[in-house]
């Protein structure tokens, strides 16, 4: 199954503030990629007011656990996050992968 982790309500000056935590955030993301959990992820642009990360797993806990340990969330850069199950039907990462 696929799950979208949606980040919103970013702190003022998010782009500048994330630099202090970016290395740790990217290491966490890379580890999730290597485990086959994180398929794609990145910030929304123009304006940078959120982020979307696509996870694959047996339950939404894979995305929830990422958010709970993400330094962007832990240090208050992300004010709100939610996980939504995404019913995928076609594409490179379709449900049959």
For the chain, the domains span 2-86
CA angle 11, 15, 17 (to 5 degrees): 65
- 92 pLDDT band, cuts 50/70/90, is confident
Q: How many helices (H) and strands (E) would you count in the chain?
A: 4, 4
Arithmetic mean of pLDDT over the chain: 94
Pairing label, strands 2-10, 51-56:
antiparallel
pLDDT tens digits, one per residue of 30-43: 999 999 999 999 99
pLDDT tens digits, one per residue of 9-30: 999 999 999 999 999 999 999 9
CATH class of 2-86: alpha beta
């Amino acid at each position: 199954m696929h799950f979208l982790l949606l980040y919103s309500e970013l702190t003022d000056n998010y782009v500048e503030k994330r630099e202090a935590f970016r290395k740790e955030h990217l290491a966490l993301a890379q580890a999730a990629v290597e485990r086959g959990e994180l398929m794609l992820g990145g910030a929304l642009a123009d304006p940078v007011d959120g982020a979307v990360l696509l996870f694959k797993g047996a339950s939404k806990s894979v995305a929830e656990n990422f958010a709970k340990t993400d330094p962007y969330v832990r240090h208050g850069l992300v004010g709100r996050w939610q996980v939504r199950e995404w019913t995928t039907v076609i594409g490179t990462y379709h449900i049959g992968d």
